[in-house]
């Protein structure tokens, strides 16, 4: 009995020792694992509303230059930076202005504004946002070759009387100036005693995510728990890994393999790379706007009936399908990129019979294979020149298509193909009859370039001039110009966000903010 009891306690002792050893091994393992997790991203999974969420989302970029939002020239980094850096004002999906770092803006005069910043907002290092950060950012944009230079060109002076107020004085009036205040703000204290353009610091913002690391292959973003909206708009995605690639083809190949979750592209033929199945897409209208501009002071084109007839005679869908391989959206207005201000009242649609009737009603007759009219004692024929840049092959093909379409209603066009210097000479001096051109629309909805003083079409309408600086009157402006046709909108570029099937969320991309509502995006297991 005694021997049996000794054996029993011996076994108990051995089991206790084994338990202690296992416990020590487990603790050491977990310590090593914690340290490992601090140095690399692990695809942790959480449960949200019966969906298994992988906490890391993967993206890809090419031609990386810098994550500094003021200095980068990379369009994709500009998009990503909006997740890291906030601006004074945001653009909504329908291009309205909403407060972000600013709590208010007061127009003191045509050339002076007082902006209040939200000093409760914290930078990612815990320091408070102050008015000096705004003036510092404007200085850096002015002193560098920034993509935001045009936003601040007319700023003559910035005063910061206290930590909350920023007083901006312009050298001339800028319509809807608040739309120009959508550039990212950087911290003045963070770059104190630093040469901003050459700083080696990892940039710091106030946005939804912060940069954890940058190396030769990847950029790691992690959720910013100091973000101003963190309590109400908690991001489902904990971290974002941005892989660097040498070419867009590499990104598409990696996307097909499922190793990248989200790709943004303006390439019309992206399906050649990724196919047509096995992913979702959200297409959106870009802000590259191509149009046919008239010289409204020309002897022939000063007649609104001629301009309207040309508008009726152009089939824009035909241009997009036969010339542009369905890579563009039909565009009728400088505002139809998604702006809440766009109204299509009175838009002219393709109708060859209406084109001929419009000319006839305007006193033109068709004889000897041309439209003719007696103007001030002279017989005028509708034979017009259309200037196009010979180095822009796409526009040359469009010009030839327009020439063919107008010939179908008896309007004769000579396509004038010129080199870059001659083209811009025509454009700047406005000494053309018609010119095929384009612009990248600003988020600022100002229409002065198209209809205001000194506009591209030599167009004059007193009522339009009286209403062009009031957003409340934009509907009236559009009705008038739809009727008088100083230019003809043709098409605008098409962007696409393509997403692997495991990516969910509320997708509402636009050209101002690709990742709108990103806090709702997630990757499923």
352-361 and 304-313 helices, crossing angle to 10°? 170
Element spanning 268, H or E: none
Taking every pair of Cα atoms in the chain, the longest distance, rounded to a whole number of angstroms, is 138
- Helix or strand or coil: residue 170? strand
Q: Is 419 exposed, middle or buried (0-12, 13-18, 19+ CB in 10 A)?
A: exposed
**How many CB atoms within 10 Å of residue 515?**
21
Round to whole Å and give the CA distance between 274 and 270.
6
Q: How many CA atoms lie within 13 A of 94 on its CB side?
A: 4
Q: What per-residue confidence (pLDDT) applies to 229? A: 94
pTM for this predicted structure: 0.86
The full set of domain ranges for the chain reads 53-84+207-278+501-525, 86-199, 285-494
Q: What per-residue confidence (pLDDT) applies to 25? A: 41
From the options 3.40.50.10210, 3.40.190.10, 3.30.70.260, 3.30.457.10, give the CATH code of 53-84+207-278+501-525.
Answer: 3.40.190.10
Q: What per-residue confidence (pLDDT) applies to 268? A: 83
The DSSP symbol for 433 reads: S
356 phi and psi angles, rounded to 5 deg? -70, -40
Q: What per-residue confidence (pLDDT) applies to 160? A: 98
Per-residue pLDDT for the chain (525 aa), expressed as one digit of tens each?
344 444 544 544 454 445 544 454 444 444 444 433 333 444 454 445 556 778 899 999 999 999 999 999 999 999 999 999 999 999 999 999 999 999 999 999 999 999 999 999 999 999 999 999 999 999 999 999 999 999 999 999 999 999 999 999 999 999 999 999 999 999 999 999 899 999 999 999 999 999 999 999 999 999 999 999 999 999 999 999 999 999 999 999 999 999 999 999 988 889 999 998 999 999 999 999 999 999 999 999 999 999 999 999 999 999 999 999 999 999 999 999 999 999 887 788 999 999 999 999 999 999 989 999 998 888 899 999 999 999 999 999 999 999 999 999 999 999 999 999 999 999 999 999 999 999 999 999 999 999 999 999 999 999 999 999 999 999 999 999 999 999 999 999 999 999 999 999 999 898 999 998 999 999 987
**What are the residues facing 366 on neighbouring strands?**
371
344 phi and psi angles, rounded to 5 deg? -105, 20
Q: What per-residue confidence (pLDDT) applies to 36? A: 37
Round to whole Å and give the CA distance between 411 and 309.
9
First to last CA, the chain: 59
Q: What per-residue confidence (pLDDT) applies to 28? A: 40
Q: Reply yes or no on domain 285-494 having CATH 2.60.40.420.
A: no
- Helix or strand or coil: residue 6? helix
Helix, strand, coil percentages, rounded to 5, for the chain? 30, 30, 40
- Helix or strand or coil: residue 458? coil
Distances (CA, A) of 195 to 101, 140, 198: 25, 10, 6
Round to whole Å and give the CA distance between 210 and 201.
13
Q: What is the CA radius of gyration of the chain?
A: 30
Q: What per-residue confidence (pLDDT) applies to 522? A: 93
The domain made up of 86-199 has a fold known as: Dipeptide-binding Protein; domain 1 (3.90.76)
Q: What per-residue confidence (pLDDT) applies to 19? A: 53
Q: Is the dihedral angle over the CA atoms 85, 235, 121, 106 positive or is it negative?
A: positive
Q: What per-residue confidence (pLDDT) applies to 1? A: 39
């Amino acid at each position: 009995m005694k021997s049996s009891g000794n054996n029993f306690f011996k076994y108990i002792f051995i089991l206790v020792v084994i338990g202690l050893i296992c416990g020590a091994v487990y603790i050491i393992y977990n310590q090593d694992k914690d340290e490992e997790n601090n140095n690399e991203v692990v695809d942790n999974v959480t449960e949200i509303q019966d969906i298994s969420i992988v906490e890391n989302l993967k993206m890809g970029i090419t031609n990386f230059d810098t994550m500094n939002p003021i200095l980068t020239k990379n369009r994709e980094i500009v998009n990503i930076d909006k997740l890291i850096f906030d601006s004074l004002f945001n653009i909504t999906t329908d291009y309205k202005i909403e407060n972000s770092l600013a709590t208010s803006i007061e127009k003191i005069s045509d050339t002076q504004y007082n902006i209040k910043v939200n000093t409760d907002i914290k930078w990612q290092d815990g320091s408070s946002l102050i008015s000096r950060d705004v003036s510092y950012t404007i200085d850096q944009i002015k002193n560098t070759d920034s993509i935001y230079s045009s936003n601040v060109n007319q700023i003559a002076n910035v005063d910061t009387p206290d930590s909350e107020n920023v007083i901006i004085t312009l050298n001339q009036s800028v319509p809807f100036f608040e739309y120009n205040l959508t550039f990212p703000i950087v911290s003045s204290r963070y770059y104190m005693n630093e040469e901003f353009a050459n700083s080696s610091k990892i940039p710091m913002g106030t946005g939804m995510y912060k940069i954890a690391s940058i190396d030769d292959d990847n950029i790691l973003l992690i959720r910013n728990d100091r973000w101003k909206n963190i309590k109400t708009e908690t991001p489902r995605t904990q971290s974002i890994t941005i892989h660097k690639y040498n070419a867009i083809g590499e990104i598409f190949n990696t996307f097909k393999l499922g190793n990248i979750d989200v790709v943004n592209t303006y390439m019309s033929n992206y399906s050649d790379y990724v196919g047509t199945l096995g992913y979702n897409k959200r297409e959106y209208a870009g802000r590259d706007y191509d149009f046919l501009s008239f010289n409204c002071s020309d002897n022939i084109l000063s007649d609104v009936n001629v301009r309207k007839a040309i508008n009726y005679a152009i089939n824009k869908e035909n241009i997009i399908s036969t010339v542009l391989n369905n890579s563009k959206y039909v565009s009728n207005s400088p505002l139809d990129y998604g702006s809440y201000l766009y109204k299509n009242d009175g838009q002219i649609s393709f109708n060859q019979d209406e084109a001929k009737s419009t000319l006839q009603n305007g006193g033109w007759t068709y004889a000897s294979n041309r439209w003719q009219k007696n103007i001030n004692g002279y017989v005028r024929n509708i034979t017009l020149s259309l200037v196009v840049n010979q180095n822009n092959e796409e526009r040359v093909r469009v010009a030839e298509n327009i020439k063919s379409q107008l010939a179908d209603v008896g309007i004769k066009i000579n396509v004038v193909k010129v080199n870059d210097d001659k083209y811009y000479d025509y454009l700047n001096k406005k000494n053309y009859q018609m010119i095929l051109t384009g612009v990248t629309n600003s988020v600022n909805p100002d229409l002065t370039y198209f209809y205001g003083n000194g506009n591209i079409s030599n167009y004059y309408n007193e009522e339009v001039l009286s209403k062009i600086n009031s957003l409340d009157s934009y509907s009236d402006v559009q009705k008038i110009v739809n009727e008088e046709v100083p230019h003809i909108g043709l098409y605008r570029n098409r962007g696409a966000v393509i997403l692997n099937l495991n990516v969910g969320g509320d997708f509402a991309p636009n050209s101002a903010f690709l990742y709108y509502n990103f806090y709702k995006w997630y990757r499923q297991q």
